[in-house]
């Protein structure tokens, strides 16, 4: 696998990483989003192949057995997420920088694999209370899945020190500016 540059945004659900990534992609034509694969259900506002590659558990496991992932994990019971090799190779063939919006454990696996070719940014909410409010406000979870997501998010906050940069997302416009500065410095 020939490598180009990569930019990784990680953080717990509700940290705002996806909003930041969308802003960067809109304003930087050299960047291209690496669409992750998942077995979770598609939300009403999502598009297959744009937000995620939505796969059945069986399809996902078949791709695992054929070594088609850079990284993958079972985040929840039968809730798989992963980064497909062809997705990243397509971006590099276009001469662009691959941008990832993945969970913390997947991000650490990608960071380990690509090292200095990657900028790894951890996005944090200002407080754990803010994180809880953001997750509750989504209204996309069952009480059980919300409880699991909150527990996982709180655990993920402990991994911030393992990333190249930490971005505290307490003000959207300020977070956009700081993220853009980080990207500019990395791409110099």
User: In the structure encoding, which two tokens stand for residue 183, read together?
Assistant: 């990207």
Contact between residue 14 and residue 131 where contact means Cβ atoms under 8 Å apart: yes
- Specify the pTM: 0.82
CA torsion angle for 23, 42, 107, 100 (degrees, to 10)? -30
* pLDDT at residue 163 is higher than 80: yes
* Residue 77: per-residue pLDDT: 87
Domains of the chain: 6-187 (3.40.50.300)
What's the order of all strands across the beta sheet hosting 69-76?
Answer: 53-54, 37-38, 79-84, 69-76
- Per residue in 90-145, pLDDT tens? 999 999 999 999 888 889 999 999 999 999 999 988 766 655 565 556 566 677 76
3-state class of 143 per DSSP?
helix
3-state class of 99 per DSSP?
strand
- Per residue in 30-79, pLDDT tens? 999 999 999 999 988 899 999 899 999 999 999 999 999 999 999 878 99
* Residue 130: per-residue pLDDT: 59
């Amino acid at each position: 696998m020939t490598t180009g540059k990569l930019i990784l945004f990680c953080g717990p659900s509700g940290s705002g990483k996806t909003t930041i990534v969308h802003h960067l992609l809109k304003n930087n034509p050299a960047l291209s989003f690496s669409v992750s694969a998942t077995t979770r259900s598609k939300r009403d506002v999502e598009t297959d192949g744009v937000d995620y590659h939505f796969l059945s558990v069986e399809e996902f496991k078949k791709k695992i057995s054929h070594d088609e992932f850079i990284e993958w994990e079972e985040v929840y019971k039968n809730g798989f997420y992963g980064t497909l090799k062809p997705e990243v190779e397509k971006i590099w063939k276009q001469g662009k920088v691959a941008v990832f919006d993945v969970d913390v454990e997947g991000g650490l696996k990608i960071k380990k694999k690509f090292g200095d070719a990657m900028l790894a940014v951890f996005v944090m909410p200002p407080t754990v209370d803010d994180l809880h409010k953001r997750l509750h406000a989504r209204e996309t979870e069952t009480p059980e899945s919300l409880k699991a997501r909150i527990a996982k998010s709180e655990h993920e906050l402990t991994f911030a020190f393992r990333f190249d940069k930490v971005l505290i997302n307490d003000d959207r416009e300020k977070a956009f500016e700081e993220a853009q500065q980080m990207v500019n410095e990395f791409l110099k």
